[in-house]
Structure 1
Amino acid sequence: MGVWRSRPRSDHELLSRADPAAFGEFYARHERAVLVFMLRRTSSPEVAADLTAEVFATALEAADRFDGRDGAVAVAWLFGIARNVLSHSYRSARVRRDARERMGFPPLELSDETVEHLERLADVAHGEQAVRLLDQLPPEQREAVIAHVLDERDYAEIAVELQCSTAVIRQRVSRGLSTLRSLVPPA
């Protein structure tokens, strides 16, 4: 008798439920990528953590308005929120610190060990140049590269989420990485 495994729920499924556990799964799936995105832009673990919390608080508040039926992808939607939160914090010269409270989490207190861990995560992203390069990819390639390389998700999981074949995801990642290599100036 084989072991039956259910397929992972897609981001769209996680957002379309009025279930805190489902949103928690969405958060766990994408928190690292958003945190690295913020770290690379702020160079401050504390500010990056606050901005990341604000992104997910905003996403939680707007989850019922996300409509993935027309091909919208939750990761692109989430990073759109991240860009808006970052832009707003630059314009207002402040970071909202109530985001964790709005999500029902205790106030964030970063230990030295946590700060060092966040700084190591930032190094994994290969610097600000990598983010700018990713922005130059077509959306479907960028999504696939982020999901597979940065989020460390397997091809099958991404394929289920994006409702296409594993071969298509492999091709998008391969083409995306090839394009990125061509965009990096020789050392």
Structure 2
Amino acid sequence: MAFDRMPEVTDPKAMRALAHPVRIALLEALTIHGQLTATEAGEIVGESPANASFHLRQLAKYGYVEEAGGGTGRRRPWKRKYLGMSFSEVHDDPETATAARELSRTMTQRYLARAEEGLEENRSQPREWRNALGWNQMGLYLTAEELQALGDEIVELMLQRFGERRVRTDSTPQDAERVELLTFSYRV
């Protein structure tokens, strides 16, 4: 499955369009399933087909998704246009900075809630998964430049080693499960 490389999101309207839990959930469902109709997507994210359709159209309006083609009538499949997204909270324009903080807050809430649930469920996983799952914490004294470089290197390593596994393909091992890796950096 080919994806365009997404440019950094800098438009405050596009950021606000994405800063909605249902829209983030729809993007994730499309990442996992490739193509979905509004009815299928709604079932996965717990929304009505009409609401899923509305949110998919909003995502399409700002270039996050597109029609996949091959549909008939109301059964139109959608797909992601880009795999992943990049945005910054650092902007001189107050409107853009506010929209970026709103998007960041929405994503943080979603990922932290899912991390908490996933870490709790780790206890019920088979032994080999319990050994592999978990978390790490390390406090370091770094400059801003060193922290930026470290973050870039971590992302680059993940992309080099497993970038093609962001979606399941024929070459994905049968026993591979979808996992999520989160990295955070903050001053303490």
| Larger of the two Rg values belongs to structure | 2
Q: Whose helix proportion is higher, 1 or 2? A: 1
Structure-2-length-normalised TM-score: 0.26
Q: Whose strand proportion is higher, 1 or 2? A: 2
